[in-house]
Structure 1
Amino acid sequence: MGGTMTAEALPEASQLRRDDSKWPVPPEDGYTVDEFFTLHLPPHTELIDGSLVFVSPQRNFHTLAMYLLEQGLRQHVPETLRVRREMAVVLGKRNVPEPDLVVMKADGVGGLRQTRYEAADVLLAVEVVSPDSEDRDRDTKPHKYAAAGIPHFWRVEMSGEHDRPAVWTYECDEVTKRYVPTGVHHDRLKLADPYDIDIDLTAIDAL
């Protein structure tokens, strides 16, 4: 049976979920943090400059690199710190990214119903780069993490003939609020900040 499609049947892409049902029309200047946490969203959705960013299916490398780094970070973490994965971090009024991993102050962790952390409690943010997130993980998010005062940032990418993780490490300049590179690590990640860390990156082969 023929008919004419109406505008209502063709919502803009920004209003679509993966299952093609509509989100509420976003405010003209984008969602705020408070509005973001009232929406029913797919897991791991982020708020960047007031816009919703959805997560695409990840490669096996992403999962294994996160696991390897999480286990390594937990190995010698001080009692005053905690390691968490895939939790929302509030950076400002319209920015709530979800780093793959964070190291944060223990007193910034609330009860089991907690849904977000504050940037002031985060010492390290880690992003494992995926093909669909290269620009965000290499540029957008590090700039926002630094501006929010998060002292350390790691960017993790698949590298070399064995597709192992390479880790670029950065430290925030407190004056400029920008990250300064402190090293590139291929086979072993050994650092003294934010605490003593020693991770065999080649161990991903056995996972």
Structure 2
Amino acid sequence: MPALTLPLPSGDTWTRADYEALPENLPVRVGLVHGALVVSPRPRPIHQRVARRLATRIEDAAPVDWQADTDVDVLLDDDETEPVEIAPDIVVYSAQHDPYDRPIPADLVALAAEVVSPSTKRKDRRVHPRLYAEAGIRHYWRVENDQTAPAFAIYTHELDDATGHYIATGVHHDRIVVTSPFGMDFGLKGVHER
């Protein structure tokens, strides 16, 4: 495989303009965290399958004023020198946002979800939830599959206004039943099984 060559940022850190100028067809995933470009490999097919199937079930349950997509950029912090823009595996956001525009502002996001992979365990369990909480995203789901945990489970969390951190609201193995960010009740067997 040939070496990947990326353009250099315009200054000491990556700006949003530098990040937005990157080509969309990169062979790796990239994110922008506090002005640093974060590069990670593309996910395995099973990871994408779980994310796609779960996003479809969420979108089917969503009221008309919400939409769900996978792997789309969310602007978590528009700081001029240390911006944060990353793509959660699943994003539930306001239908007022034009799906042709990127990134999605964090204040329009109701739920960010990550499907944990062996190579993303630390980010999905620690780093990303902290960034989502700092941006004020009310709900975070962490999907553990049999690559990263003994059994498939979705861990649901809600932002605690008093602490600014997520608090656990449930662990779901076979079925997910929640009332927020909106009512959802669906089985999970088809999400993770082949």
Task: State if a TM-score over 0.5 links the two structures.
Answer: yes
Q: CA deviation at 1:163?
A: 7.2
Tell me if structure 2 keeps the 8 A contact 1:164–1:201: no
Aligned residues: CA RMSD: 2.3
Instruction: Determine helix, strand or coil for the equivalent of 2:84.
Output: coil
Corresponding residue for 2:47?
Answer: 62
Q: Which runs of 5+ in 2 are unaligned?
A: none
Q: CA deviation at 1:171?
A: 0.2
Instruction: Provide Cα deviations, 1:6-39, integer angstroms capped at 9, x if missing partner.
Output: xxxxxxxxxxxx7324323346652122221122
Tell me if structure 2 keeps the 8 A contact 1:154–1:168: yes
| Percent identity over paired residues | 31
Corresponding residue for 1:185?
Answer: 172
Say which one has the larger Rg: 1
Q: CA deviation at 1:50?
A: 1.8
Separation in 1, partners of 2:74, 2:192: 31
Separation in 1, partners of 2:178, 2:4: 47
Separation in 1, partners of 2:150, 2:17: 40
Note closer, same or farther for the CA distance 1:59–1:90 as it changes in structure 2 (3 Å cut): same
Residue identity in the other structure for 1:103? V
State TM-score, norm by structure 2: 0.86
2:121 to 134, 151, 170: 134
Residue identity in the other structure for 2:19? F
Tell me if structure 2 keeps the 8 A contact 1:72–1:198: no
Tell me if structure 2 keeps the 8 A contact 1:44–1:54: yes
Alignment map for 1:98-177 (pairs within 5 Å):
98-107=87-96, 109-110=97-98, 112=100, 114-159=101-146, 165-177=152-164
Corresponding residue for 1:4?
Answer: none
State TM-score, norm by structure 1: 0.81
Note closer, same or farther for the CA distance 1:175–1:33 as it changes in structure 2 (3 Å cut): farther
Instruction: Determine helix, strand or coil for the equivalent of 2:136.
Output: coil
Separation in 2, partners of 1:66, 1:25: 32
Instruction: Provide Cα deviations, 1:125-157, integer angstroms capped at 9, x if missing partner.
Output: 010011111111111110010010000000001
Alignment map for 1:47-58 (pairs within 5 Å):
47-58=32-43
Q: Which runs of 5+ in 1 are unaligned?
A: 1-17
Alignment map for 1:65-104 (pairs within 5 Å):
65-92=50-77, 93=79, 94-104=83-93
2:23 to 40, 51, 54: 40
Specify which structure has the higher proportion of strand.
2
Separation in 2, partners of 1:51, 1:99: 17
Separation in 2, partners of 1:182, 1:124: 14
Does 2:8 align with 1:25?
Answer: yes
